Amino acid sequence: MALWMDAGSDPISESEKADLEAIAAIKEAAAVELKEQGNQFVKMGKKHYNDAIDCYTRAINQKALSDSDHSVLFANRAHVNLLLGNYRRALSDSEEAIKFCSTNIKAYYRAAKAAFSLNLLAEAASLCQRGLEQVPSNDELKKLLMQIDLRRKEDEHQKAQVLQAVASAKELSSAMENRGLKLGKGLYQELTGIRKPVLDKSGILHWPVLLLYAEVMSSDFIEDFCETDMFSSHLDIMFSEDSQPLPWDEYHAYTREAVELYYQAGTGILLSNKEVLKYLLDGTVKSVPEGFFDEEKDSGKDLDSSVSHLSTNYGKWIHINEKKTLLDILRRSDYIIPAIPVFFVVSKKSEFYKEFRAGKWSPP
């Protein structure tokens, strides 16, 4: 009987030929039935998509249909995989469908759609064009090709933005490094949000600066403190005769002649070069090139998290000379910038002043 014949051998009798034809007919009928069952499962909705895939797979495995029918089966399975978001499988099935039948326009569309979903834009565009060579009037392929072109332009625009942001961040990082500034982990960002310095066309740094009133932990914020500005010029504006007294300053202790500025020496967690770039890029672009930060090299400096080695005055409150510029203070060896400069304001007229000067107060 034909069932016991060796694989690849030819039938030698009419009976064996008849058996083979009967087996082929049975397999063909099974494949057609499985295909129809798969189509019905697709119509029944998402809960039955896996059943549809199983039916199409079993029909394919019968290997009993023509090339054009096999192309339809692979294209149908690709369709269900697209619906399930299995884009790699959908692309693979669609490509198989095209191999079996180079004129299967649905296979081209589904392959292009899968490639588009995987952001394989060049491949998706090529598949659309190949499909349009078969059927130049196909509106679905034309529409998808327009979407691919729009995505490509958006990606190119995004890439240009990323490159510009990266270049600006590197320039800003270099400007700080050349000045000998030490950037640390941000503090008090619940008050300021994510703020960053700006490097102007003249190569001058402009910093957002947070002023904290240590006595009550209230705050003021200077949006643009040029590194060449003296502290006195900003205090003159903030505490001018025309300015309103601070709402919590019941005894009017915080006057121009009474206020002093301080910073705490050596405190903070230094950022590595990679971390500095991440901070400077944060919020500027949606994403940066994969592996970008891995390519950045640190200077090899010790980044001990305690950073107490930076100063023998570690933790002490250092009085700021108002006639100094912001840059004079930022480049001091014992000052770590907590993302943006933070300084503490106290009043010589306040009872709190003695406690502060005695070192009995520390930030909460």
What is the pLDDT, as a whole number, of residue 308? Answer: 43
| pLDDT at res. 300 | 44
Q: What element of type H or E holds 105?
A: helix 105-117
Nearest of 24, 59, 25 to residue 39 by alpha carbon: 59
> Average of pLDDT values for 298-319?
60
* E strands, 189-302, in order: 198-199, 205-213, 218-226, 259-264
* Strand 183-184 to 337-338 pairing: parallel
pLDDT bucket at 13, cuts 50 / 70 / 90 = confident
Residue extents of the structural domains in the chain:
2-151, 181-270+305-357
**pLDDT at residue number 1:** 45
Provide the pLDDT for residue 151. Answer: 97
Predicted pLDDT of residue 11 = 54
Question: Percent of the chain having pLDDT more than 90?
Answer: 77
Q: CATH topology of 2-151 equal to that of 181-270+305-357?
A: no
- Percent of the chain past pLDDT 70, that is, above it, reads 89
Q: How far is CA 63 from CA 53, 60, 69, in A?
A: 16, 6, 10
Residues 212-251 pLDDT 10s:
999 999 999 999 999 999 999 999 999 998 888 999 999 9
> What pTM does this model have?
0.69
pLDDT value for 303: 44
Q: How much is the pLDDT for 287?
A: 63
Give the tens place of pLDDT for each residue, 39-52: 999 999 999 999 99
Please give the span between the terminal C-alpha atoms of the chain, in angstroms, as a whole number.
Answer: 92
pLDDT of residue 142 exceeding 90, the answer is: yes
Mean of pLDDT over the chain: 90
Q: What is the reported pLDDT for 353?
A: 97
Per-residue pLDDT band for 25 (boundaries 50, 70, 90) equals: confident
Output the CA angle 270-275-277, nearest 5 degrees. 125
| pLDDT at residue 26, as a whole number | 86
Residue 27 pLDDT greater than 90, yes or no: no
Q: Is the dihedral of CA 298, 193, 222, 267 positive or negative?
A: negative
pLDDT surpasses 90 at 311: no
> Does 3.40.710.10 match the CATH number of domain 181-270+305-357?
no
Rounded to an integer, what distance in angstroms lies between the CA atom of residue 268 and that of residue 308?
A: 9
**Cα–Cα distance between 327 and 172 in angstroms, integer?**
15
Sign of the four-CA dihedral 192, 261, 229, 308? negative
Mean pLDDT of the 111-118 span: 98
- Quickly name the fold that domain 2-151 has: 1.25.40
How far is Cα 156 from Cα 154, in angstroms, rounded to an integer?
5
Q: How confident is the model at residue 314 (pLDDT cuts 50, 70, 90)?
A: confident
Residue 158 neighbours by CB under 8 Å, 6+ apart:
285, 286
Q: Look at residues 72, 28, 80 and name the one whose alpha carbon lies nearest to residue 53.
A: 80
| Structural contact between residues 150 and 174, judged by C-beta atoms closer than 8 angstroms | no
